Amino acid sequence: MNNSVSTNNVLVTGAGGFIGSHLVEALVTRGDRVRAFVRYTSRAEIGLLSQLPKDVLDQVDIIAGDLRDADAIRRAMRGCQTVFHLGALISIPYSYFHPAEVAEVNLMGTLNILQASLELEVDRLVHTSTSEVYGTARTVPISEAHPLQGQSPYSASKIGADKLVESFHCTYDLPVVTVRPFNTFGPRQSARAVIPTVITQALVKDEILLGSLDTIRDFTYISDTVQGFIQAAEMEGVIGGTYNLGTGAEITIGEMAEKVIQLVDRQISVRLDPIRLRPQKSEVGRLLSDNSLARLELNWIPAISFDEGLKRTIAWIEKHLDHYRIGTYEF
């Protein structure tokens, strides 16, 4: 295993998504040869990769397919030494209505990645988990030893995927590392996420519609999350490990909305919108990361404060408001 992915051919699944597109950009910028796997559409859409600078995008080998197609995964992975698996259906509200599709993509898609990684003998697979697998915190801060709780079909599908990854490491000695991002935010994020939902409304409307204002989250800026992925691919002695990527600081959704309102400097009210509320037992009330293991073993230290990240995100969204259907509930 090389000490750096910089001389490797790298595959990124879910490359058209928020974190995936930023990861692709970072890898290309540092000199990697990147193959991006995106979900096929008849319109040849490449998701958020379309927002990368042209000189960066021109260096990306884009392959369209479906995670559920094992042959497509093997073809995409062939010749790659490092694999970053971010591909998944991630919307929690969507999983309420389409649990079978979410389970199939997130479970069977991950199984296809694992089998291809084993067959093609990749040097390292970095698998993406999520803080949602912990459910509402029983103890805080949440360490990697916290019980896993499937409070939504999405979180259950990710728990299953995580366990498949664990099983392939234990059974076949597959060189895997699992990272668990807490709530990542930043430029290019869609309004399915709460921070862009708040910012877009705050910039143009007199009222912000939200679901629960009391839920507590640990928000991590996108560049820090991306660096965590890269560290997970590079560091020695971490194979088989699982690492939280969170800041260790918490804030309620209501407090976050007030921060945004102050930063945009407008008179805006906040109102609870019942349609945005999740089923009571499904809502994850509190997520606060214990990132001490990532600090120790991945040498990962978040660099961007929440306030600075908000400022950067507001500035980007203000310039790209045409990308959003402002005020529409996106799920």
pLDDT value at residue 284:
85
pLDDT value at residue 329:
63
For residues 90-112, average pLDDT: 95
pLDDT value at residue 2:
40
pLDDT in tens, 235-293: 999 999 999 999 999 999 999 999 999 999 999 999 888 888 778 888 888 999 999 99
Lowest mean pLDDT among 7-16, 142-151, 322-331: 322-331
Helices (H), 78-152: 92-97, 99-103, 109-120
pLDDT value at residue 285:
85
Phi/psi at 34 (5° precision): -110, 130
pTM for the full predicted model: 0.94
- Count of all residues that appear for the chain in the document: 331
**Is residue 116 scored above 90 in pLDDT?**
yes
Give the CATH class of 5-186+219-245.
alpha beta
Lowest mean pLDDT among 26-30, 55-59, 188-192, 247-251: 188-192
Burial state string for 296-327 with b = 16 or more CB within 10 A and e = fewer than 16:
ebbebebebebeebbebbbebbeeeeeebebe
Helices 109-120 & 153-172 angle (0-180, nearest 10): 20
Looking at residue 134, the DSSP 8-state letter turns out to be: G
pLDDT value at residue 327:
66
What percent of the chain shows pLDDT beyond 70?
A: 97
Q: Which secondary-structure segment (H or E) carries 219?
A: strand 219-221
What is the pLDDT confidence band of residue 314, given thresholds at 50, 70 and 90?
A: very high
